[in-house]
Structure 1
Amino acid sequence: MSRPEDILPPDLFYNDSESRKYTTSSRIQRIQSDMTHRALDMLDLTSPSMILDVGCGSGLSGEILSASDEDGTPGGPHVWIGFDISASMLGVALEKEVEGDLFLADAGQGVPFRAGTFDAAISISAIQWLCNAETSEDSPAGRLSRFFNGLYASLRRGGRAVCQFYPKNDEQKQMVSSAAVKAGFGAGLLEDDPGTKNAKTYLVLTVGGGDTDGDITGVVRGMDGVDVQDSRRRGRDRHGKDVKGSKAWILRKKEQQESRGKVVKATSKYTGRKRRIQW
């Protein structure tokens, strides 16, 4: 059976008919609800927060974000903003009068919000679409890079994001997680029901600062099936070499300079830290 992303671009696949079919399916509603609650559990929000919903579609996840704590939404009700590339999906969300603000935008072109706007972000069944390029002038790597760099900037220090997606294979899974790490995130992959047709993959992301300082291990500790890929914790690429700009790379360069008799700045707790984008 063909995957939707292999048939048409998302803005064409989710036309008026397909958007309504998707939204009214009781099976999809149940699966979407389960995955949204799973993502919220991993975000571990304890109070109402400002949340970005990437690929918000017709607002199925947004309705859960808007629910109160008594209705089963941790820390809710939350304020949320969603964006999607399908005008038809957003049209259904408007008809439903969801409580979030909606924007028509392509995640593969970035995240169009001011730096530090959001406390957290979720994305349900969306980012696998970024692994396809619709023109010869674009590439999956470029789309993923623009998305994750924009997402990193839009989250406050100490913020988290959880992206559920359906990777086609291990190579695609690695491509997505590597793009997140290159953007500066602490990243961990968690898979529910691995090896079955019901398998669900979650990319858990942290922005340096707060209690995690970019280390994802505390976020996913105790969860089964976790593959941690943390650029700040490891400071090495997949070949075992220090990542350029990482603390380990900087310290090694400073040692080389000192051995040559050159004067270098003293090492401090700020050495190797990623600077926030200034506006």
Structure 2
Amino acid sequence: MFSSRMIEIQSQMSERAVELLNLPEDQSCFLLDVGCGSGLSGDYLSEEGHYWVGVDISTAMLNVALDRDVEGDLVLGDMGEGMPFRAGTFDGCISISALQWLCNADKKTHSPPKRLYTFFSTLYSSLARGARAVFQLYPENSEQLELITSQAMKAGFSGGMVVDYPNSTKAKKFFLCLFAGVSANLPKVRKAWSGYLRTDLANMKGKSAKKGKDWVLEKKERRRRQGREVRADTKYTARQRRPHF
């Protein structure tokens, strides 16, 4: 059912998320996997010696996890309706490729801001004070990022966004790193050929989605190096156009 490439990518993203959790060394922790799906990310947690509970909205995916005989406990649930766990239960939380779905209104009764706040507030409660939650996600645009981070802040979290390989279209990965009950610096990140970006939640609100001239020139130069046809640079390159009324 799963290609070796898919399993490898899922394992790599899970490894990255756990690295950003900054868990105590040589110590088994009790972790929450939100949007656990078939349990591929849980497999990595088990390999690292951690105990885990996985939550997913899909009965079919959880049945696959059961068939695969994963070691974690599984819970059927909609993250937008909140996490049904006692306060302080978990030492940390990871989530791979799931959080962005809360930005969609799949039903008429769905309000993305309310569902995000319900999720983050109940997650905050279920984490031990000082614990971290790391979400790998695929945001569609900056508006989604602002929506997600604003609701996380409203629920009490601090933290920020770590972007690996920011200049690569295929390799770029977004990790939202949240701290429950404590203020802390963003986690150290793995060095990459294109570097990384770290943005505090408090500084994300109101950021423009528009790209600056340096970004446009860099992108054009990168395409030239790839042998692609690119328009020549002029004094009008990346200049903001006045709106027409």
The answer as to 2:81 corresponding to 1:94 is no
Name the count of aligned residue pairs: 199
Unaligned runs of 5+ in 1: 1-19, 68-72, 240-279
Gaps of 5+ in 2: 207-245
Higher mean C-alpha deviation, range 164-173 or range 135-144: 135-144
- Residues 221 and 202 of structure 1, relative CA distance in 2, 3 Å threshold: closer
Tell me which moved more, 94-103 or 38-47. Answer: 38-47
8 Å contact kept, 1:62–1:80: yes
Query: Aligned partners of 1:105 and 1:227: how far apart in 2?
Result: 31
Confirm whether residue 201 of structure 1 aligns to residue 174 of structure 2.
yes
CA separation in 2, counterparts of 1:54 and 1:111?
9
Change (3 A) 1:138 1:30: same
Is the Cα contact below 8 Å between 2:87 and 2:128 reproduced in 1?
Answer: yes
Name the aligned partner's letter for residue 106 of structure 1.
D
CA shift, 1:179, in A, is: 1.1
Q: 1:64 is matched with which residue?
A: 44
User: What is the alpha-carbon root mean square deviation over aligned residues?
Assistant: 1.8
29, 32, 35: which one aligns with 1:55: 35
The 8 Å contact of residues 56 and 75 in structure 2, kept in 1 or not, is answered as yes
- How far, CA to CA, are the matches of 2:67 and 2:190 in structure 1? 41
User: Aligned partners of 1:105, 1:221: CA distance in 2, in Å?
Assistant: 32
Question: Aligned residues: percent identity?
Answer: 50
Q: Is the 8 A contact 2:186 2:198 kept in 1?
A: no
Matched, 1:38 2:16: yes
How big is the shift at 1:135? 1.8
CA contact 2:54–2:72 (8 Å) conserved in 1 = yes
Answer whether contact 1:180 1:187 (CA < 8 A) is retained: no
What is the TM-score normalised by the length of structure 2? 0.77
**Does residue 103 of structure 1 match 2:75?**
yes
CA distance in 2, matches of 1:143, 1:151: 12
Equivalent residue number for residue 29 of structure 1: 7
Aligned equivalents of 1:85, 1:92: Cα separation in 2 = 13
Query: Which position in structure 1 is the counterpart of 2:121?
Result: 149
Instruction: Note the 1:133-212 alignment, pairs <5 A.
Output: 133-195=105-167, 196-208=169-181
More relative contact order, 1 or 2 (CA 8 Å, 6+ apart): 2
Kindly state the Cα deviation for residue 197 of structure 1 after the two structures are TM-superposed.
2.5
Letter in 1 for 2:172: A
SS in 2 for 1:161: strand
Q: What's the CA shift for 1:120? A: 0.3
CA offsets 1:197-230 (integer angstroms, 9 cap, x no match)? 221100001112xxxx223x25348973000115
